[in-house]
Amino acid sequence: MPELPEVETVSQGLRERALGRRILGVEVRHPGVVVGSLKQFAAQVEGRTIVSVQRKGKVLALELEAENAPPCYLLVRLGMTGQFTVAAREAPLEPHTHVLLALGEREELRFRDVRRFGRLRCCTREELEAAFDRLGPDAQQMTEEQFLDALRGRRGAIKSWLMNQQLLAGLGNIYADESLFVAGIHPLAQPGRISARNARRLFRAVRKVLDHAVKLQGTTFRDYVDIEGRPGNYELRLRVYQRTGKPCRRCGRPIRRIVIAGRSSHFCPACQPRPREVTKMRGPRH
Ligand SMILES: [Zn+2]
């Protein structure tokens, strides 16, 4: 599932390839991925020029300008398997391509999504601000103070805390696992009980992991590709995610997997020691 580094890579690609270009036509092949009326969607997007690309957490927004109307924003959520690519108009369509936005005569922006959890929605500036306000600070932009404040007094598992978009926007399963490993923190530790030293270490780990992943254009497991259709390069750098049973890159002990709130968590039992008090979970002890 695309997380902050993948969405940032797509937004950088859009800035390079789509900025300043006019959307000449819209074709919606699967209406389920567009929020609201299709007619209205087409009317709002067609003929407008893409003048900026913004991102907060995993949400993208393309600002669309028209001559005699207030700007509108195309809000894009890639969901589980959403892809946004620029292709030549004559290039064959891949299956599961749901929306085509013609960029000039020769190229088009294509939205493809196998699982169809992704969404495109046109909205006003106020609606965009409201959507962004519902998210916590962006995980790449937040200050240390914001991060420490948000941890204070929180219960539950730190892994779930890192993935809660209302507290911190941008992390999903991959980069939450990786950040906890880099910081040496067990995924079941309670956010409010982490020492100040470890909390600062976690803040720096999140930044370091995200910055590095953005540099390598993200991680591809199944479907994620950048705007040119290329996979990410971070996969080989993963330390714990999906490495169950493989040796820890730091100490050699096998990486373990536990399930927290229905999601797999991968960690090294030696490098991420279990604190004395952890979040209580149903089921067998881990
Ligand atoms: Zn280890």
Q: What number is the average pLDDT over the span 143-149?
A: 96
- For the stretch 39-66, pLDDT in tens is 999 999 999 999 999 999 999 999 999 9
pLDDT at position 256 over 60: yes
- What residues act catalytically? 2-3, 58, 263
Residue-averaged pLDDT of the chain: 94
Q: How far is the centre of ligand 1, averaged over its atoms, from the C-alpha of 9 (Å)?
A: 30
Q: How far is the centre of ligand 1, averaged over its atoms, from the C-alpha of 133 (Å)?
A: 38
Q: Locate tokens 């609606």: which residue?
A: 127
Cβ neighbours of residue 73 under 8 Å, at least 6 residues apart?
61, 62, 63, 64, 122, 123, 124, 125, 127, 128
Q: Report the C-alpha gap between 129 and 89 in whole angstroms.
A: 33
Q: What number is the average pLDDT over the span 134-152?
A: 96
Among 185, 254, 176, CA closest to 210: 176
Q: How far is the centre of ligand 1, averaged over its atoms, from the C-alpha of 250 (Å)?
A: 5
Q: Report the C-alpha gap between 19 and 23 in whole angstroms.
A: 11
Q: Which residues surround ligand 1, an ion (CB under 5 A)?
A: 248, 250-251, 268, 270-271
Q: Report the C-alpha gap between 54 and 46 in whole angstroms.
A: 20
pLDDT at position 207 over 70: yes
Q: Six-digit token pair at 151?
A: 């941890």
Cβ neighbours of residue 165 under 8 Å, at least 6 residues apart?
57, 58, 135, 136
Q: Report the C-alpha gap between 205 and 194 in whole angstroms.
A: 14
pLDDT at 82: 93
Q: How far is the centre of ligand 1, averaged over its atoms, from the C-alpha of 253 (Å)?
A: 6
Residue 56 neighbours by CB distance under 10 Å:
24
- For the stretch 111-126, pLDDT in tens is 999 999 999 999 999 9
Q: How far is the centre of ligand 1, averaged over its atoms, from the C-alpha of 272 (Å)?
A: 7
Q: How far is the centre of ligand 1, averaged over its atoms, from the C-alpha of 11 (Å)?
A: 34
State the number of CA atoms in the 13 A half-sphere of 182 facing the CB.
21
252 φ/ψ angles, rounded to the nearest 5 degrees: 90, -15
Q: Six-digit token pair at 43?
A: 């009317």
pLDDT at 18: 95
pLDDT at 9: 96
What b/e string do you get for 93-105 counting C-beta neighbours within 10 Å, with b at 16 or more?
eeebbbbbbbbee
Among 170, 159, 131, 165, CA closest to 274: 159
Q: How far is the centre of ligand 1, averaged over its atoms, from the C-alpha of 243 (Å)?
A: 12
